[in-house]
Structures are given as structure tokens and as C-alpha cells.
């Protein structure tokens, strides 16, 4: 009887605690219990399964043989949808909770789900310097394979679970983007199944309109079934320099200067307040000074953004050699700095040594288990946004971010934006240097109200001919959205390819004002 009595007492105390603190407080501030006990072990199992599966499939070369069959199956599903009267829009059958985006896609429940089981690396051609992959291949899979054979992607976005399809149909960026542009700019070919069930391959010289319209279209022009992406030779390490900078004007000048230096393979900034930042520049190398080697990706190491902050606190410059794959996924273990809000003690040395090997929890599992109440609370009290603005507007933009949402740290990542057709391009006819301003965390501005504050920020971004990444919550109305993005080529192809009855318009798929 004693264990039962003790359990009952604990349950009563727990309920009393909820009554005193409030359910919302417990859901937000004590979620670490559920995450540590259940989501971390489950995430580890997921990772092991997908890693082993990808390795076996590639070694046995079964993926290329099965790929053609799987594409024909997708075509068959689309043609059956047409034969049944095309009554609803189509979308991929992948559950919404599996995506890295925090947005919950309710359209999955009402649209025709086309099952797309394409998650394999099909071919690595080192002579042509191309890797051909299916859309559900993740960045974790890509780095594990390519770095093991001495190659890498010119632009390899940070988080392990980001997929090639998401990075093409949405967008992707990394600290090498000041040299190579966004993820779409290292792609050389897309293969799609269109609204009528036909198969098409597009490149800059073949079906070029479709090639340039696909990026940022969020799956509203067709189903991506494969992509060809450039690869470049890799080296073993990144020689990374850390430089703390004080004063906003000095920060912007230093960041712009380093972003224009082509000898820098990587450029990144972490802004810890409006006038304090650390600017990092890196080059790939095979040489290393053993005393300066830092395997930052090891599970027991401090979270990267905390490690970087030490250079700011001690006001000293630094030089480290980081293994290439560790560098690529330097923010993965802490999900940039989002994990500190979920597991507040996650960077504690004791936790890192005992449980760090299970970190991070899968973003998809966090979404699946958050519940409607917590989702709404996060929506109102949490910001996850990436805004892309011209480099010349960086200082104004940082003042706007500070005044409208006041979230720190802020991620700064430069990228070159070529003048090409499509939804996103510079205002003029020339290539222009832009910067991604990433804000992730709890706003500290007084009386923060998500809709009004974000609409104010979106208005500023439109005014400087900037762009909002479409994985995040978007509050613009339709007119404002098409003021930000150039829809001329997109709408022309929607009509030519018969997409209007097959797929929702991109605005209706992602904007809060249109979603129900």
C-alpha cells in the first residue's frame, strides 16, 4: 500500500503545483521532463535507423533501380486523381509534423495526399562534380556520405533534418552563401511530376522557365522527384577565426567587409545585443595545429553559440581548427539556441557528459507532441523568423529587429543574390549582396503581440526589397505578399501547366491570413 499512497501523494502535489503555477506555465517551462525521458531516446532511435538505412541502400546500389519504379507510382497516383475528377488540390502525403518548419499544415487533411517515398542518394559523379538525390534526402545523410569520400556541397544548410526538397521548394542558406548564393543556386537540374502526371526534367537551358520558378514555390508547380546538385572537393578542417566587435556601426562594417572577401570560405556573425557581436571567418584546410583543434560537434562539448560568446565576454580574438562535418552542424546540437528554452540546463557540463549523446530531440517529434495549447502559446510568445535584406540595409534592419521583437542572439549570414528569373531576385539587374537575419527565441519587447509586431517587421522588409523565408509564420495579405515576391513567371507557369486546379497558390499554402 505504501508505494500506492506515495504515488497518490505525488500526483496530488503535482496537480496542486499545476493549480498554483497554471497549466500554461508548466507546459512551457517544464517541458524538459517529457523531452528528456521520452523524446531524446526516441530521436536517437530515429537517427540510427535512417543512418543505417541510407548506408545500406547506397552500398547495395538499390536506390537507382527503385527510383524509376517509385516515380512511375507517383505518376500513377496523379493520373488516378485526374480520372476521379480532380475534386481537391494535391499535396505530398508526408505528415506535416515531419517537416522542420514550425508551421502546422492543416491542408494535409483536406487535400489529396500523394505518397512520395523518395529518400535516397542516387548517384555521386565526381567527374561531373554532381550528386543526384531524391527530395527527402537530409543534410545529415549528405554530409555523412560526401565528407567520407572527400566531397561536399558548396552550400550545406545547418540542421541535420533539413531535406533537399524543402531547401529547393523553400530555401536554404549557409555561411558559404556569400560565395555561392542560396541552396537553389547550386542546383543544376530538377526532375518533377506535373499536374497531368507527366515527367519533366528542367535545367537552366532546358525548360528554363520551370527551372527558375521551382525555388520558393512550396510544391505548387509539381512534385519534385529528384535534383542534381553541384559538389566541390572537401578538406578535413575549417580554420575558423573569431573576432568580437563592439558598436553597431563597426559590426556592420566588419561583417560587410568580410562578406566581400572571396578568400573567406565561410562568414557568419552572432549578435548578442544591439552593439555586441562575434564575426567568424573560416577557410577549409587539411593542415591543423593540434593545440588549436576543437571537435565542437562532440556530444560533451559546449553548445557552439555559448562557446562563441566566451570570446565576447573575454574580449579576445581566437583561432580554432574544427573538423569539417562538425563545423557544418555546429548549431545542430542546440538547434541554434532554441534548445535552451526547452532544456534550460542542457549546456550544463554534467548534462552534456551524461545525456549529450542523445541531443538534440527531433524537431518533428517536438511538433508532434506539443499539442494545440502549447502551439498557440509558442505562436504568441515565441519568434522563429529569417528575413533576407540587402547588406546595405543591415544597420537599419538590426535597429528594426531590436525595436519590434528584441530577440537575441541574432544569426547573421551573408549571401549573394544573382539577378535571375523567379520569385526572389534583386530589385535591379545586377547581382547584389544580401544578409539573412535569423531571430529565434522569446521576444523581450514590452507588450509583444505576434501579429502586429510581425506585420510591422514584414512591412520594413518589403520596403527595402527584402524577403521572408516561407517556413516561418507569415502575416501578410495577398497583395503584400506579391509585393514582396515577383509572381510574374510563377503565375504564367501555373496557367501553362494546369496547376490552378491541381495545387493551391503558394500564398494560400503558407500565409496565416489564407490558412484555415
Q: CA–CA distance from 399 to each of 57, 337, 437 (Å)?
A: 49, 21, 12
pLDDT in tens, 424-468: 999 888 999 999 999 999 898 888 888 899 999 999 999 999 999
Please tell me the distance from the alpha carbon of residue 348 to that of residue 338, in angstroms, as a whole number.
15
Cα atoms found within 13 Å of the Cα of residue 253, Cβ hemisphere only:
6
Orientation angle between helical segments 40-60 and 62-83, nearest 10 degrees: 110
pLDDT of res. 3: 47
Residues in the chain predicted with pLDDT less than 50, given as ranges, are: 1, 3, 7, 514, 516
pLDDT in tens, 76-98: 999 999 998 888 999 887 776 66
Backbone angles phi, psi at 225, to 5 degrees: -120, -15
Predicted pLDDT at 57: 64
Domains of the chain by start residue, with CATH: 3-59 (no CATH), 60-233 (3.30.465.10)
Asked if the peptide bond before residue 33 counts as cis, ω within 30 degrees of 0, the response is: no
Residue 26 confidence (pLDDT): 56
C-beta separation of 54 from 172 below 8 A:
no
CA distance 242 to 395: 21
pLDDT tens digits along 336-371: 998 898 888 999 999 999 988 888 887 777 777 766
Consecutive H or E run containing 8: helix 2-21
- What pLDDT score was predicted for residue 473? 85
DSSP annotation string for 467-488? EE-TTS-B---HHHHHHHS--H
DSSP run (H or E) holding 373: helix 371-381
Residue 107 has a pLDDT of 72
Angstrom distance (rounded) from CA 51 to CA 467: 34
- Provide the 8-state DSSP code for 217: S
The pLDDT score that the predictor gives to residue 158 is: 82
The CA distance from 460 to 366, in Å, is 31
Q: What is the pLDDT of residue 14?
A: 52
Query: How much is the CA Rg of the chain, to the nearest whole Å?
Result: 23
Q: Which of 338, 235, 218 is nearest to 286 (CA)?
A: 235
Residue-level pLDDT at 196: 94
Amino acid at each position: 500500500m505504501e508505494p500506492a499512497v506515495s504515488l497518490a501523494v505525488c500526483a496530488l502535489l503535482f496537480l496542486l503545483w499545476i493549480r498554483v503555477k497554471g497549466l500554461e506555465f508548466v507546459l512551457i517551462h517544464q517541458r524538459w521532463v517529457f523531452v528528456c525521458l521520452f523524446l531524446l531516446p526516441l530521436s536517437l532511435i530515429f537517427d540510427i535507423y535512417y543512418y543505417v538505412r541510407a548506408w545500406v541502400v547506397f552500398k547495395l546500389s538499390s536506390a537507382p533501380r527503385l527510383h524509376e519504379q517509385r516515380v512511375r507510382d507517383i505518376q500513377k497516383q496523379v493520373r488516378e486523381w485526374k480520372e476521379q475528377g480532380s475534386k481537391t488540390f494535391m499535396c505530398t502525403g508526408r505528415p506535416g509534423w515531419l517537416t522542420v518548419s514550425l508551421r502546422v499544415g492543416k491542408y494535409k487533411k483536406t487535400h489529396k495526399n500523394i505518397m512520395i517515398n523518395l529518400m535516397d542518394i542516387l548517384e555521386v559523379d565526381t567527374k561531373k562534380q554532381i550528386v543526384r538525390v531524391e527530395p527527402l534526402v537530409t543534410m545529415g545523410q549528405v554530409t555523412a556520405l560526401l565528407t567520407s569520400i572527400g566531397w561536399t556541397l558548396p552550400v550545406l544548410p545547418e540542421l541535420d533534418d533539413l531535406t533537399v526538397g524543402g531547401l529547393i521548394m523553400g530555401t536554404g542558406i549557409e555561411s558559404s552563401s556569400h560565395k555561392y548564393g542560396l541552396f537553389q543556386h547550386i542546383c543544376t537540374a530538377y526532375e518533377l511530376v506535373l499536374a497531368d502526371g507527366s515527367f519533366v526534367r528542367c535545367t537552366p537551358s532546358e525548360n528554363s522557365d520551370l527551372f527558375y520558378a521551382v525555388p520558393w514555390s512550396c510544391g505548387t508547380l509539381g512534385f519534385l522527384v529528384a535534383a542534381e546538385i553541384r559538389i566541390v572537393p572537401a578538406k578535413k578542417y575549417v580554420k575558423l577565426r573569431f573576432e568580437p566587435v563592439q558598436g553597431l556601426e563597426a559590426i556592420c562594417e566588419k561583417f560587410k567587409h568580410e562578406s566581400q572577401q572571396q578568400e573567406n570560405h565561410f562568414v557568419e556573425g552572432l549578435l548578442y545585443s544591439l552593439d555586441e557581436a562575434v564575426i567568424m571567418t573560416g577557410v577549409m584546410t587539411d593542415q591543423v595545429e593540434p593545440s588549436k583543434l576543437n571537435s565542437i560537434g562532440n556530444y560533451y562539448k559546449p553548445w557552439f553559440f555559448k562557446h562563441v560568446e566566451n570570446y565576447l565576454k573575454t574580449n579576445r580574438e581566437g583561432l580554432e581548427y574544427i573538423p569539417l562535418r562538425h563545423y557544418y552542424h555546429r548549431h545542430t546540437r542546440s538547434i541554434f539556441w532554441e534548445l535552451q528554452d526547452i532544456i534550460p540546463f542542457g549546456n550544463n557540463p554534467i548534462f552534456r557528459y551524461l545525456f549529450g549523446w542523445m541531443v538534440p530531440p527531433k524537431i518533428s517529434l517536438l511538433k508532434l507532441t506539443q499539442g494545440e495549447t502549447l502551439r498557440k502559446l509558442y505562436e504568441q510568445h515565441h519568434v522563429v523568423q529569417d528575413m533576407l535584406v540587402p547588406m546595405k540595409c543591415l544597420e537599419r534592419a538590426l535597429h528594426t529587429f531590436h525595436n519590434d521583437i528584441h530577440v537575441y542572439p541574432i544569426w547573421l549570414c551573408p549571401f549573394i543574390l544573382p539577378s535571375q528569373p523567379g520569385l526572389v531576385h534583386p530589385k535591379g539587374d545586377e547581382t547584389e549582396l544580401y544578409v539573412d537575419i535569423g531571430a529565434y527565441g522569446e521576444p523581450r519587447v514590452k507588450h509583444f503581440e505576434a501579429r502586429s509586431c510581425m506585420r510591422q517587421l514584414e512591412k520594413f522588409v518589403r520596403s527595402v526589397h527584402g524577403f521572408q523565408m516561407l517556413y516561418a509564420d507569415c502575416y501578410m495579405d495577398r497583395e503584400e505578399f506579391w509585393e514582396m515576391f515577383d509572381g510574374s513567371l510563377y503565375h504564367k507557369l501555373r496557367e501553362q501547366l494546369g496547376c490552378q486546379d491541381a495545387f493551391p497558390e503558394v500564398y494560400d499554402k503558407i500565409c496565416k491570413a489564407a490558412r484555415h
